[in-house]
Structures are given as C-alpha cells and as structure tokens.
Amino acid sequence: MRKTTLILLFAIIYSCSVEQDVVNKIFITKFNSLSQINIDSIEVYRYDRDNNLDVQINYQANTYNTLYDTIKWEFPGGTPSEITDLSEASIMYNKYGTYTAKMVLLKYDTLNYGNISVQVDTITLNDNLAIKYKEKNWSTYQANANWQNVGSYQTYIDVNEVYDNNNPIALVSDFSGFENKKVRINFKFKVALNTPISDSYTVNRKNIQFKVDGFTKYSLTGVENDKYYSAYISITDKNEFELKFEVYPPLLSSDWRISNNGNAIPMYSLSDHNQNNFLLGYSDLSTSSSATIELNDLSFGSSDMTYLSLSDTTKILLPQGKSKILVKMKDELPSSFEIFEEGSIQTGTSLSNDEYFYKLFIKDLIIEVLD
C-alpha cells in the first residue's frame, strides 16, 4: 500500500472583521490518485520555415473517478498558459519546441474551526510534447540542377554526366524565427551507384557537403552503396540561417587525351576526398597498343610503366580489350599511373565512366528546437 507523506505547512492567514481577528492553520498533504494527462499527440510536424505556427493540441484529464474539488492546468509556452476547473483543454502553440504540461488536483477539508486540510496531486506529462519542422516542400528550394521529388519528404539528384566545371550542384533554402535557441538538424541520405560492382561497394570519391550559412557541417566521403545513413548537426545562437546541400561533380572534362596511333581518347579530371587530383581514361582495343598522355605540345611517356616523364620516347602499353588508366597529377602535370583491366580485382566487371555516376537521395529533413 502506498504511504501518504504528510507535509505540514503552517500558514497564518489574517482575516479582519469588525468583531475580531481570525487565525487559520492550513495543512497541506500530497496524495496519489494515479490520474494521468491524455494528449492527442506528443509529436507534431509542420513545414513553416519562418517558425510562425498555429498548432492546436488537446488535453484531457484522466482522473479514474478520483474525487477532487478543484482542477488546475499549467501549459508553459502555450495559449492560454493556465486553466482552472476544466477537465479538457485546447491549447495553441506558435513556435517549434518541446513543451510540458501540468495538472493539479486539489481536495479541501475543514478539520475544525479555523483549520483547513488541502490534499494536492500534481501530474505531469509522461512524454513532453515536441513540435518539429519536417521538410515536405523540396520543390520550393533554390536549385541549379534538376532535383526530383519522391512522395512528400524525399528528393534526389541524378549525377550522370561529365561536367565542364567544378561548380557544385546546390539545393538551398532559408529559415528564420528560431530566436537564437539551440537547434538540431537531422536528415537521411543514401548514394545509389548507377553501375554498382557489388552490394557492398564503398563509394570513396563522392564529394557531398551539407552547409549552414556557408560553413561545412557535414561532409560525405565514403559510404556503402544504396544504404541510408543519418546525419545530425547542432547549431546555436541563430535566429536566421541558410541550409545548403552541395554535390560536387565526380568527373570533369579536360583537354588532356590519350594518343593512340593517331587516335585521341578523351580523359577526365577527378579528385578524391584527400584533394588528390587524377586524370582518367577508358580504352577498348582489339589488340594491345602503345600510347602517350598529351596536352597541346606536351607528351608524357613511361619507361617503367609506373612513372610518367615529359617527352619520354617510351610509350605506355595499353592492353587488349577494355581497360582504365588512372593518372596521378602533381603540380597539374602527370606524375604516375595505373592501368586496370576488365575482370581484375581492382575494377570488378565494369569499365566505363558510368561507375562514377550515381543518384543522391535526401529525405526526412527534421529541425528540432532543443531549448
């Protein structure tokens, strides 16, 4: 059996009449009624980017037939903030955030002349109310590429071409009205390769960044193919801020070429997550053949099939069939190279620039106000 804790508070109340002064003693005790607060929702999502909301939440007292004389409510941050003598209440909230609620049941009894007993039961929410931002209007973002939407909460971009410059593919929006409170941003993303070699293939040359007011808060380097990941970012002291997703092109066009018996094979420029620069070229030859790496009147060959030298008369040997040559750059000039043949462990079974193309999916962008 639950023991009732008796707390004696002696309050001297002076009430003056013509005849006399009366002194009352009030005895306050706590009781446990097992009552609860019912709420129609503890997690609410809206998509207003200026944090100007109009959210109605309904509360109900579940008192389990408890006898009481007065019921009082407190709703910090809500309108109205206090209510008395109602078992149900509809409260309005106009900002994102986390909110509590309190219900107080009071029972009064006059013990004898001048003495009053007050029993108090204070009930709070089991789980606080959370009103959060959740993106569902991706089409209203500023963009310099063709982002597509899937349902209400997901967008994606198909990165499937060789670009002329390294300007990022951007997706941008502004937010305001967050009153310099602590904010947590989270979203889910995945990279799906257009020509995956295996289900466990790790993407290690995808430069994707998430920025707040121009500062990088999250950067993607390597993830497994076609698998969702979650990102969490916290910011403080911001009333207004800009969110931006930046996707840097995986392959750039270049003026470098593979010269093979008078035939020019185009080469592409790329960088890895350590900012190392490379040239990339693909060949499909009926027989093995020799080649050089050229730009304008510059010609690079190799006498050891590893390092490249300017005007080296020894040409690079390209194998029969499909292959890929990866040239490491130093001071913007070819330095060394590797050749990968079809079916090798390093390349798997695919040899085309499609291996660098992918789709980036972003979904469930949620912004929470934490204080």
Domains in the chain: ranges and CATH? 6-133 (2.60.40), 135-250+359-369 (2.60.120.200), 254-351 (2.60.40)
pLDDT at position 115, please? 79
Note every long-range contact of 134-141, with CB atoms under 8 Å and residues 24 or more positions apart, other chains counting: 134/45, 134/46, 134/47, 134/364, 134/365, 134/366, 134/367, 135/47, 135/364, 135/365, 135/366, 136/47, 137/47, 138/171, 140/173, 141/171, 141/172, 141/173
pLDDT in tens, 133-161: 999 999 999 999 999 999 889 999 999 99
Long-range contacts of 125-128 (CB under 8 A, 24+ apart): 125/37, 125/39, 125/42, 125/100, 125/101, 126/36, 126/37, 127/42, 128/42, 128/98, 128/99, 128/100
State the average pLDDT over residues 278-287. Answer: 93
CA distance 256 to 310: 14
Residue 319 has pLDDT above 70, yes or no: yes
The tens digit of pLDDT for each residue in 228-249 reads: 999 999 999 999 999 999 999 9
Q: Which residues pair with 367 in a beta bridge?
A: 133, 185
Share of the chain above pLDDT 70, in %: 87
**What pLDDT is attached to residue 211?**
97
**pTM for this structure?**
0.84
**Residues listed for the chain:** 371
Q: How far apart are CA 276 and CA 326, in angstroms?
A: 12
In the chain, pLDDT over 90 holds for what percent of residues?
69
DSSP one-letter string for 328-353: EEETTEEEEEEEEETT-TTTTT--SG
